[in-house]
Amino acid sequence: MIEKHSRRGDLLLLLGFALVVAFAPTIFEPIGGGYPDLLQKFAIYGIFAVGFNILFGLTGYLSFGHAAFLGVGSYTAVWSFKLLTMNVLPALVLATVMGGLFALFIGFIALRRSGIYFSILTLAFAQMSYNLAYSVLTPITNGETGLQLTHGDPRVLDALFGVQHGDGLPSTDLFGMSMSGWSGYYFCGVVLFAMFYVSLRIFRSPFGMMLRAVKSNQNRMNYTGINTRPYTLAAFVISGMYAGLAGGLMAVTDPLAGAERMQWTASGEVVLMTILGGTGTLLGPVLGAGVIKYFENIFSAFNEATLMDVFSFLPETLQHGAVAITGLFVGEGWHLTLGALFMLIVIFLPGGLMEGVNRIKALFRGGLRRGEVRRPATMTG
């Protein structure tokens, strides 16, 4: 199970990752993804999934409530914008800390159980947070409408330093650099890179080794006299902080926090991202996050008129037929494509997208080790 990692390999990985982050606008332009909002989403959900993978990929504990930390992070960040300052640094720090605290509380309780019981405990906490945020906690969360900035917010730090925001609604900034559009993306990209690096360090550290040991056989660990709880709790809190940070970044690029960010479907989404990309792999979660967000934003945007354009090279009768058939899978049918994709990937690439990547790599290395594709570490029942 233990894979060899050369320092050179890791460095190449980081370098490649940095290059992709830096040139993402150019890389994704041809497939219609080269605009700031989508790339921000790639980066933010990438962070979320990378953090989730530290818990799930290493320890095998499947949390179904991670969206709660994301939501808490968002609310914290928006409150920081409302009460303290429009500068994003305090907001992100507070969001990460709150995500961690929340995770500490929930993790402390939920980690008393394992397997499916753990999953349901996390799910229950997240659903409670969502339901309350949507209804009775409206004074804090602004319920259905979502927490937004208003003109009359105090922003004490800004007032203290004499920062003026003009007539309209203020926008988030990093010491004067606007956090929307491309600069917002690069900010998220840098954070993603840093978080990816942290995750790599964790994967390669003795701590990461310990977490893997928990996954492979927790009982044996306990028999040897090691108390595994502090390790799993630490992993849980770290991934909660990642989620809080991701939630904070969502508020940074778009200062609105809604309760539905905490719904079980949102928790499920990060699970799907991680499995789709490849559980326990470093890059997989980022890939999975990108694919799901790409489908959600690009495939849903095709409508009959755009399809007609795409198939305009066909004779008219064929064109209508082609539009009718593809129309089932894009636009309002984008869910169908996503569902089918889940099935296809898991049937043909059990290790997620990363297995596909590895197979291609193996193919390039020639037929020497044909068929000997190593499956990345995945959760076992």
Partner 1 sequence: MDAFVLQILNGLDKGGAYALIALGLTLVFGTLGVVNFAHGALFMLGAFCAVTLQKLLSLEKVTEDPTQLTAWGTPMEIRTPYIETWLGDLGTTLIDYSVPVSILLAIPVMLVVGVVMERGLIKHFYKRPHAEQILVTFGLAIVLQEVVKSFFGANPIPQPAPEIVAGSADIGLLLGMDPGTVVYPWWRMVYLLFSAVVIGLVFAFLQFTTFGMVVRAGMADRETVGLLGIDIDRRFTIVFGLAAVVAGMAGVMYTPILSPDYHMGMDFLVLSFVVVVVGGMGSLGGAVAAGFLLGILQSFASMNEVKTILPGIDQIIIYLVAVAILLIRPRGLMGRRGVMES
Partner 2 sequence: MTRRTITRRDLLKTSAVLGAGFAAPMIFTRGAMAYTNEPKGATVTFGFNVPQTGAYADEGADELRAYQLAVKHINGEGDGGMLATFSSKALKGNGVNGKKVAYVTGDTQTKSDAARASAKRMIEKDGAVMITGGSSSGVAIAVQGLCQEAGVIFMAGLTHSNDTTGKDKRANGFRHFFNTEMSGAALAPVLKNAFGTDRVAYHLTADYTWGWSQEGSIKKYTEQLGWKTAAAVRTPLGAGDFSQYITPVLNSGADVLVLNHYGKDMVNSLTQAVQFGLRDKQVNGKDFAIVVPLYSRLMAQGAGENVKGIFGSTNWHWSLQDEGSKAFVKSFGKEYGFPPSQAAHTCYCQAILYADACQRAGTFMPSEVGKALEGFKFDGLGNGPTEYRAADHQCFKDVLVVKGKEKPTSKFDVLEVVEVTPRSQVEYPAEMLGGELGPFNNGTA
Q: How far apart are CA 174 and CA 86, in angstroms?
A: 8
Report in angstroms how near the CB of residue 354 gets to partner 2 at its nearest. Answer: 20
Q: Does 25 bind partner 2 (CB under 8 A)?
A: yes
Report in angstroms how near the CB of residue 110 gets to partner 1 at its nearest. Answer: 9
Q: Does 38 bind partner 2 (CB under 8 A)?
A: yes
What letter does residue 87 receive in the DSSP assignment?
Answer: B
Query: Which partner from the list partner 2, partner 1, none does 90 bind, CB cut-off 5 to 8 Å by kind?
Result: none
Q: What CA–CA distances, in Å, run from 192 to 53, 164, 306?
A: 14, 30, 34
Q: Does 220 bind partner 2 (CB under 8 A)?
A: no
Q: Does 180 bind partner 1 (CB under 8 A)?
A: no
Nearer to partner 1, 155 or 215 (CB): 215
Q: Which residue of 114, 297, 337, 378 would you call a contact of partner 2, by CB under 8 A?
A: 297
Q: Does 268 bind partner 2 (CB under 8 A)?
A: no
Phi first, then psi: give them for residue 161, nearest 5 degrees. Answer: -95, 5
Q: Which residue of 23, 105, 108, 117 would you call a contact of partner 2, by CB under 8 A?
A: 23
What x-and-dash track marks residues 250-279 binding partner 1 by CB under 8 A? --------------xx--x--xx--xx--x
**Sheet strands (E) in 133-205:** 147-148, 173-174, 177-178
Chain positions 345 to 374 lying near partner 1, rule: CB under 8 A, are: 345-347, 350
Q: How many CA atoms lie within 13 A of 55 on its CB side?
A: 33
By CB neighbour count within 10 A (0-12 exposed, 13-18 middle, 19+ buried), where does 107 fall? buried
Secondary structure of residue 148 in the 3-state scheme: strand
Q: How far apart are CA 266 and CA 289, in angstroms?
A: 12
3-class SS letters over 253-314? HCCEECHHHHCHHHHHHHHHHHHHHCCCCCCHHHHHHHHHHHHHHHHHHCCHHHHHHHCCCC
Q: Does 216 bind partner 2 (CB under 8 A)?
A: no
Q: Does 235 bind partner 1 (CB under 8 A)?
A: no
Query: Which partner from the list partner 1, partner 2, none does 347 bind, CB cut-off 5 to 8 Å by kind?
Result: partner 1
Q: Which residue of 194, 306, 339, 363 would you call a contact of partner 1, by CB under 8 A?
A: 339
Q: How far apart are CA 337 and CA 225, in angstroms?
A: 49
* Site stretch for partner 2 (CB under 8 A), options 50-58, 225-233, 275-283, 291-299: 291-299
Q: Does 194 bind partner 1 (CB under 8 A)?
A: no
Nearer to partner 1, 195 or 345 (CB): 345
Chain positions 202 to 221 lying near partner 1, rule: CB under 8 A, are: 218
Strands 147-148 and 256-257: antiparallel
Chain positions 63 to 102 lying near partner 1, rule: CB under 8 A, are: none
